[in-house]
Amino acid sequence: MKIIKSQRINPFGGLNFVINEFEQLGLGTLLENNLPHIVQQASYSWKDLLYSFWSIYFCGGDCIEDISLNLKEHLRDNPFFKVPSPDRILDRFKELSQTKDLFTLPRGTSLHQFGLNFTLKELNLRLLKKLNLTTTNDHILDYDNTILYTNKKDSIRTYKKGSGYCPGVGIIKNNIVYVENRNGNSAAKDLQLETLTRMFYELENQGIQIDAFRADAASYQVNVVDFISTKVNRFFIRACMSDALAKRISEITNWSEEGVGSETIFRGEIKFTPFIRSLKRKKQLHKTKEYRLVVSKIERNDKQVNLFTKDAYLYSAILTNDFSMSINEVVDFYNQRGAIEKEFDILKNDFGWNNLPFSKLEQNTVFLLFTAMCRNLYQYIIERFSKRFKGLKANYRIKKFIFRFISIPAKWIKTARQYKLRIYGIIHFKT
């Protein structure tokens, strides 16, 4: 095979359409107005730094070094932004880090290290409002924590026996609306009331109202349920099994049989007043409230009988203040929060959460927030471009988007004192 030397052509030509969309959204101005001022003499602006950083993930990279190793040669001729070195980007990120906050539990001595960074959380919400996240009051907010396994200098052993961080994440649809980094020794249930208080404050400060809240059993705490009930119209929280809960479940008589695949599930409901023992211990029985408990049960394979319910079933229960939905509607609505696990998979594998660049929690918090913004931008781009390019669908992961759209050979040429993009291939894109 003979090789003929040819002119330099950018293999990531589709990225120019993405960056052009950023420009039309006015992201450069948003960044300059909401991040610390950079002097005019500086070589790179916030737009240069963030556009370059986000381009890593839009071109299939997975770590900051891809800027210099794989992308800089192809991006340096574009008219939208200048491409800095990875060290320059990381240095600016370090400047944005804020001192980590230290907390202790009322009955503990261990220090819990949190990375809050309100500046970037506010920037993320302002970005989402530019991306058409409305301020209506019909939003459904999901909250959960995930473990990022890493052996960074300050990472602490998690309850799953590996070192890492345990960030808390708030999600509306496919939008990451809140990220709060925690060190590994801070389980999801620890100091969750304080985390949710900060999250709702940030959302309310931007005029984003929440209709329904969904969370797993880590939120099944008396102070959390009491707080959430004042902030949303409806909540759906997985209940933890206890003696009082098991005894109440044993009183259910209106079980209905539901066929799910090859399994038979029985569902029932009953009114339930949780946390009586905890409130009695605190002498706060006046705070007791009655909620709806929706219970599902499935027969155990080992046939072991439950001491309280006197039958061999596995139980799962959902605590809610919604009395209007049917039993099946409550279960189906709650199960939709399973999509948050997919979001964690996307953040970890598509947007760098598995490749943290720094050795300190507060600096990695900056990285987590900027990559969460990149995820939000991608969701906007794929939904918008799928309406203008027949080869895309709104549910595509970024890898398929890169193969089908970003990887288009292109070259910038200057004619009549104007830059024009020459595409080497066929692209049916409606501009």
Can you tell me the distance from the alpha carbon of 141 to that of 49, in angstroms, rounded to the nearest whole number? Answer: 31
Cα–Cα distance between 309 and 305 in angstroms, integer?
8
What's the pLDDT at 429? 59
Q: Mutual orientation of helices 192-205 and 222-231 as an angle, nearest 10°?
A: 10
pLDDT on residue 278: 87
- Within 161-221, residue ranges assigned H as helices are 192-205
Cβ burial, residue 418 (10 Å; 0-12/13-18/19+): exposed
What beta strand segments (E) does 273-389 contain?
Answer: 291-299, 313-320
* CA distance linking residue 137 with residue 236, whole number of Å: 17
Q: At what angle do helices 192-205 and 118-130 cross, to 10 degrees?
A: 50
Domains within the chain, CATH numbers bracketed: 15-96+386-423 (no CATH), 101-350 (3.90.350.10)
* Phi, psi at 139, each rounded to 5°: -80, 145
Tens-level pLDDT at each residue, the chain (431 residues)? 666 666 678 889 999 999 999 999 999 999 999 999 999 889 999 999 999 999 999 999 999 999 999 898 888 888 899 999 999 999 999 999 999 999 998 887 889 999 999 999 999 999 999 998 877 778 999 999 999 999 998 999 998 889 999 999 999 999 999 999 999 999 999 999 999 999 999 999 999 999 999 999 999 999 999 999 999 999 999 999 888 898 899 888 889 988 776 778 999 999 999 998 888 888 888 888 999 999 999 988 888 887 777 788 889 999 999 999 999 999 999 999 988 889 999 999 999 999 999 999 999 999 999 999 999 999 999 999 999 888 899 999 999 999 999 998 888 887 877 888 888 876 665 55
Rounded Cα–Cα distance for residues 78 and 74 (Å) = 8
Burial zone of 397 (CB within 10 Å; 0-12 exposed, 13-18 middle, 19+ buried): middle
Output the pLDDT for position 290: 94
For the stretch 82-95, pLDDT in tens is 999 999 999 999 99
Longest dimension (CA), the chain: 86
Could you say which DSSP state residue 146 is in?
A: -
358-394: b or e for each residue (b if 16 or more CB lie within 10 Å)?
bebbbbbbbbbbbbbbbbbbbbbbbbebbeebeebee
Question: How far is it, in rounded angstroms, from Cα 218 to Cα 187?
Answer: 9
Q: Which of 318, 323, 322 shows the shortest CA–CA distance to 336? A: 318
